[in-house]
Amino acid sequence: DHTRFVNCVRFSPDGNRFATASADGQIFIYDGKTGEKVCALGGGKAHDGGIYAISWSPDSCQLLSASGDKTAKIWDVGANSVVSTFNMGSNVLDQQLGCLWQKDHLLSLSLSGYINYLDKNNPDKPLRVIKGHSKSIQCLTVHKNGGKSYIYSGSNDGHINYWDSDTGENDGFSGKGHTNQVSRMAVDEMDQLVTCSMDDTVRYTNLSKRDYSGQDAVKMDVQPKCLAVGPGGYTVVLCIGQIVLMKDKKKCFAIDDLGYEPEAVAVHPGGGSVAVGGTDGNVRLYSIQGTSLKSDDKTLEAKGPVTDLAYSHDGAFLAVCDANKVVTVFSVPDGYAEHNVFYGHHAKIVCIAWSPDNEHFASGGMDMMVYVWTVSDPETRVKIPDAHRLHHVSGLAWLDEHTLVTTSHDASVKEWSISYN
């Protein structure tokens, strides 16, 4: 009976009827036993756009429909009339792709990935909207703002979300932001979220306003893949084959012809020193001198291609993780002498983060594992197996000494309470 694809077929809970919804904008009701067509809801077209989903009410009397015309509707099936129309917005992303009538809850799913709790009494404003990532998360960071701890996460579609760590409430930034994968993020001392993306920009976003402003996007010559912030308004950005030093949101120095491919960067909390890890398995040290970056001609050896590195908050240690499943910790005051080596991961380690207590750090790997290590004793470790079951861990950050946040390409953010026995 439909003229285009049938997107959804649903039996009523009592089995007396079934409904079909199609890209032709029509909903047909059929007799559940004989399959005979009973009626077309609305007489002709039920929606102005294709209909992607339908869901019956528990009493089998009403039907919820979701359409590409950016509305959801409740139908009285017996009377063949519309009870309510929910206008979900005017943006392309407000198209409705899914719906569910579960007991007293009416839910619809927008193309943006948002889940809307519909309000029968006020069809123009959902009771609540659950927002989050619908694509794999690449990076995260945490920041205290007005006494509250927030988690910031960036995904491979350029979307950045922020989460209240206590309640889980979350939202995205307003305005037009990154147009491609957010690869790395950090918060600087001016309370700006500094992000680099595959759209070849580095952005500075004010965390009290949480609004993207055009002037604070700095274009890079080559694609950036990692960054670190330091005191004094400095940001060090690793681009493909290039290291760029930025001060106060402006590029001020670049080193090309590196002779190696830089992969990860960290700035010493005291400022001045920069550690850059390369795919050749070496960590090179640089000094920030005014508006330039100078090589210290000092190289530290990791056990494999460097994937991430981080200084402890007190600046005493530098932890380096690599593709050969090892974390090496160097002691900064001792001229970067090797302090300890940590084994345990079964696959490439991809991220590392220091606890605020400076005695523990966490590592996450392609083996879906997260380990929390004790600097002074490689044997003492807390193991989180299957931290993210569907995909490997892509980012780590500590909210406080006993709370670790992990994120993954499975598009979820998790908070863990860590205790040491």
pLDDT tens-digit profile of 307-355? 999 999 999 999 999 999 999 999 999 999 999 999 999 999 999 999 9
Average pLDDT, the chain: 93
CATH number of 6-130: 2.130.10.10
* List of residues 6+ apart from 413 with CB closer than 8 A: 137, 140, 151, 153, 163, 405, 406, 407
Query: Residue 357 pLDDT more than 90?
Result: yes
Q: What span, in angstroms and rounded, lies between the C-alpha atoms of 365 and 260? A: 24
Lowest mean pLDDT among 82-96, 147-161, 207-221, 273-287: 207-221
Query: What is the helix, strand, coil percentage profile of the chain, to 5?
Result: 0, 55, 40
pLDDT tens, position by position, 43-79: 889 999 999 999 999 999 999 999 999 999 999 999 9
Task: For residue 214, name the pLDDT band (cuts at 50, 70, 90).
Answer: low
Residue ranges of alpha helices (H) inside 318-359 are none
Interval 142-170: pLDDT, tens = 998 878 899 999 988 888 889 999 988 88
pLDDT tier at 210, thresholds 50, 70, 90: confident
Q: Across residues 304-309, what is the average pLDDT? A: 96
Convert the pLDDT of each residue in 255-270 to its tens digit: 998 999 999 999 999 9
High-pLDDT (> 90) share of the chain, %: 79
Q: In the structure, how many helices (H) and strands (E) does the chain have?
A: 0, 39
Residues 6 or more apart whose Cβ sits within 8 Å of residue 346: 325, 365, 367, 369
Q: Could you state, in order of their start, the residue ranges of all structural domains in the chain?
A: 6-130, 137-417
Confidence (pLDDT) at 271? 85
CA–CA separation, 348 and 303 (whole Å)? 12
In whole angstroms, give the CA distance from residue 169 to residue 98: 22
Do 6-130 and 137-417 come out as alike in CATH topology? yes
Residues 67 and 49 sit within 8 Å (Cβ to Cβ): yes
Contacts of 169 (CB under 8 A, 6+ apart): 163
Per-residue pLDDT band for 216 (boundaries 50, 70, 90) equals: confident
* pLDDT at 339 (0 to 100): 95
Q: Which amino acid is at 162?
A: Y
> Does the structure show a pLDDT above 70 at 215?
no
Burial of residue 346 (number of CB atoms within 10 Å: 0-12, 13-18, 19+): exposed
pLDDT value of position 263: 95
pTM for this predicted structure: 0.82
Task: Report DSSP letters for 231-285, one per residue.
Answer: TTTEEEEEETTEEEEEETTEEEEEE---SS-EEEEEE-TTSSEEEEEETTSEEEE
Centroid of chain to Cα 388: 14
Q: Which two tokens stand for residue 279?
A: 């795919």
Question: Can you tell me the distance from the alpha carbon of 147 to that of 137, in angstroms, rounded to the nearest whole number?
Answer: 26
CATH number for the region 137-417 comes to 2.130.10.10
Mean pLDDT, to the nearest integer, of 223-242? 94
Three-state DSSP class for residue 98: strand
Window from 167-181, 271-285, 314-328, 360-374 with minimum mean pLDDT: 167-181
